[in-house]
Amino acid sequence: MHIQHPLMSTRRSSPFNVAATKQILRHQEKNEETKSVLIRKPFTYHTPSPGSGFPHNTLSVVVPSPSQRQILELASANFIPAPSPIGLSETFYPTDAYEKRAVKGAYPTVRKVKRAEISFEVGTVGPLLTSKPDITAQLRQTLQRKLGKIRGPKVTFAPGDEHLLARFAANFEFVNEYKIRQGVTPVPEEFNAGCTCVGFCDPARCLCLSKEEETNDSMVPYKRAEDDARLLVLTPEFLKRKAMIYECSSRCGCDERCWNRVVQSGRTVRLEIFNTGNRGFGLRSPDRIRAGQFIDCYLGEAITKEVADIREDIATSQNGHSYLFSLDFLITEEDSKYVVDGHKFGGPTRFMNHSCNPNCRMFPVSRNHADDYLYDLAFFALKDVPPMTELTFDYNPAWEEVNKVDPNAVQCLCGESSCRGQLWPNQRKAKGMR
């Protein structure tokens, strides 16, 4: 086939045209049977050639007709499909050409620019560019927001110590109840019996209260404070006891104003977190606290003993503060199941330090009397505490006198004349705070 000016054409008509060829090929591609038909009975091809009336100044394409043999060859030829766009195909990715161009363009010639004619305008500078962002102020705000989530009277941090506290704020969340983690299963409330009292509980008959072993008398934990009838405090007898406090619950007949609901009613004193200087942060209150007054509960993640052991090893290896509190009051250390970890999630009491002569003590308080493993770790003042006095408790109340201080134990810095010199016997394997 060739393209030529109609005036130069040697033939006046052609039995073959391009469209017909395409049609044959398409048929072949689709249907083998059609192909055999085409071979046996070739078409009569016709190309309209410019006749005598054809305008001489127009161009036309003349396709010479193929021979009979060519027609048969074309008809029986295997159709070769166009190559599919394969990634490495030179057709689609002419790498050579690119490489050549890349070599040439490796050092592009510099375009000449008259710099003086290019205007350079600086817009108004934003506050972030004019002054360094105050990260501490932002962290302080975060801490304020987090402190604001704590239920009850205000919890603040001492003015001046905010910059120290701000750093920890990014990595800590205050909580108002235990965060129950995997493997910790609270006993359903339905297993709790409750008392049959109506309105206010009768101290003599309330079934929630435990009984004295010898006399079978009810052990009444709370009484009204001498100087404030609205305030309920632990009785002096109970302050000396090491017994679980059984408070009333939703399963009881009494209502929510019942006197036997002190801990569940929440904190009544304000608290302040401050820098002790030698023992990290500590806790105190701007309010006067009466002997026997409830302060707050120790909160955090309720985790299994196995998880706690792993976390403890990490804390020990990093020489960090410990925030693990075993829930083993009613059972032996070996049989205990759960531990409260106040490291990442906790309440203000996770800042309470140890003292060998403490002014507070932890009392276990149960609401679901059917659950020996999950209960509240409630702090009460052992004596009257003047405002701004550091609140402390004994991390190891079952301490047995030792002859000499273990050099591997965490050194106690309580500063009391009766100081034992160490927080825990050997490392942290003690009952209670560990």
Ligand X SMILES: C[S@@+](CC[C@H](N)C(=O)[O-])C[C@H]1O[C@@H](n2cnc3c(N)ncnc32)[C@H](O)[C@@H]1O
Is-contact 399 302, C-beta < 8 A?
no
Residue 208's binding partner, choosing from Zn ion, ligand X, none, with beta-carbon cut-off 5 to 8 A by kind?
A: Zn ion
Q: Does 163 engage in binding with ligand X (CB under 6 A)?
A: no
* Residue 412 is a binding residue for ligand X (CB under 6 A): yes
Q: How far is it, in rounded angstroms, from Cα 234 to Cα 140? A: 37
- From ligand X, Zn ion, none, which one binds at residue 271 (CB under 5 to 8 Å depending on kind)? none
Q: Which of 21, 28, 249, 322 binds ligand X (CB under 6 A)?
A: 322
**Helix (H/G/I), strand (E/B), else coil: 100:** helix
Name the one residue in this structure whose structure tokens are 């002190």.
Answer: 262
CB 170 within 8 A of CB 196: no
* Structure-block tokens of residue 46: 């016709």
Measured from the CB atom, the residue of 291 and 410 that comes closer to Zn ion is 410
Q: What are phi and psi of 252, to 5 degrees?
A: -90, 160
- Told to check if 245 binds Zn ion by CB under 5 A, we report no
Task: Give the one entry of ligand X, Zn ion, none that residue 322 binds, where binding means its C-beta sits below a cut-off of 5 to 8 angstroms depending on kind.
Answer: ligand X
CB of residue 434 to ligand X, shortest distance in Å: 9
* Residue carrying the six token digits 């046996």: 40
413 binds, among ligand X, Zn ion, none (CB under 5 to 8 A by kind): ligand X
Q: In the complex with Zn ion, which residue's Cβ is closer, 164 or 419?
A: 419
Q: Does 360 bind Zn ion (CB under 5 A)?
A: no
395 part of the active site = yes
| Residue 416 C-alpha from the chain's centroid | 41
Q: Is 314 in the site for ligand X (CB under 6 A)?
A: no
Whole-angstrom distance, CA of residue 78 vs CA of residue 276: 93
**Cβ-based neighbours of 4, under 8 Å, separated by 6 or more:** 62
- Count of residues in contact with ligand X, rule CB under 6 A: 15
Q: Does 414 contact Zn ion by CB under 5 A?
A: yes
Residue from 14, 192, 326, 353 in contact with ligand X (CB under 6 A) = 353
Considering the rule CB under 5 A, would residue 374 count as an interface residue with Zn ion? Answer: no
Determine, following the binding rule CB under 5 A, whether residue 365 of this chain makes contact with Zn ion: no
Catalytic residue, chosen from 178, 222, 298, 373, is 298
For 386, the token pair is: 């003047």
Q: Which is nearer to ligand X, 188 or 320 (CB)?
A: 320
Q: Is 107 a catalytic residue?
A: no
Distance CA 4, CA 315 (A): 93
Q: Does 244 bind ligand X (CB under 6 A)?
A: no
Consecutive H or E run containing 301 = strand 301-304
Pick the binder of ligand X from 140, 350, 420, 434 (CB under 6 A).
Answer: 350
Beta bridge partners of 289: 385
337/350 with CB nearer ligand X: 350
Q: How far is CA 149 from the centre of its chain?
A: 18
* Closer by beta carbon to ligand X, 233 or else 423: 423
Pick 183 or 280: Cβ nearer ligand X: 280
Note whether 295 and 379 are within 8 A (CB): yes
326, with CB counted inside 10 A (0-12, 13-18, 19+), is buried
Catalytic residues: 298, 395
Interface residues toward Zn ion, by CB under 5 A: 195, 197, 201, 206, 208, 248, 252, 254, 356, 412, 414, 419
